[in-house]
Amino acid sequence: MHDISVSESFTINPIGYIESDYPDKFGIPRQPGLATAAKATLVLTPPFNTPLSVRGLEAFSHLWISFIFHRSPDEWAPLVRPPRLGGNKKIGVFASRSTHRPNRLGLSLVELVGIDTHNGVRLLLKGADLMTGTPVVDIKPYLPWTEAVSNARSGFAPAPPPFYPVEFSSAAETALAQRADASDLRRLITQVLGQDPRPAYHQGQLEREYGMQLRDVNIRFQVQQMSELGNVVYIINIQKQTNN
């Protein structure tokens, strides 16, 4: 039996990085696959960007992406407050999928929709919950016959989060209509904001205005109480980002 030193450390080198519809952390769905309209590209970097490294990968429909939560703090705590529990109840960090982890490692299941090897290697993905700039450390193909467990227990998250209806103001509709990707962007906005991306401790507050970024636009929205529909996410305006 080998002795394993608990003080031993390891170096992990990123193999690439993400370009996605999420330029910032706020608003990213808390799990992969919840916003299927979200597009991302995994750009492999040298020396990993040879087509040889992805030979045969096109035969798989989904991938496991191992990555670093690079925008999370280095510090961690043994207890965290999951948003699904209202942001108040504490559970152990290893009983959660919190970004505040000892080694900041993340794991996402994403759909592979294409591989571009014309100039390096770029993997085209859908449903990713990864922001632009995320360092990726590994890729593995998903095997549904061994990794999809139908009778698994899901603890404090037994079902998908609730989804709110999304309505667009006339100003937002006008801004959307001027874009070539209007239909696709509408789906993305609806899927992301319908999950109510506000912090858990804000979810009792209505009418407060929030802002977030998707692709190259800034979006202003409110969560409003409408008697016949319950809570509705109301898109106030959509404006293209500027460099100022």
Q: What is the pLDDT of residues 231-240, one digit of tens each?
A: 888 888 999 8
Average pLDDT over residues 111-139: 97
Tell me how crowded residue 110 is: count the other CB atoms within 10 A of its CB.
24
pLDDT number for residue 8:
76
How far out from the chain centre does Cα 5 lie?
35
Nearest Cα neighbor of 21 from 121, 134, 142 is: 134
Per-residue pLDDT reduced to its tens digit, 26-64: 889 888 989 999 999 999 999 999 999 999 999 999 999
pLDDT number for residue 5:
65
What is the DSSP code string of 24-84?
Answer: SSTT--SSTTS-TT-EEEEEE-TTS-SGGGGTTGGG-SEEEEEEE-TTS-S---SEE--GG
**Tokens matching residue 174:** 């006008």
Q: What is the C-alpha to C-alpha distance for residues 21 and 217, in angstroms, rounded to an integer?
A: 10
Q: Residue 244 above 60 pLDDT?
A: no
The pTM (predicted TM-score) of the whole model is 0.88
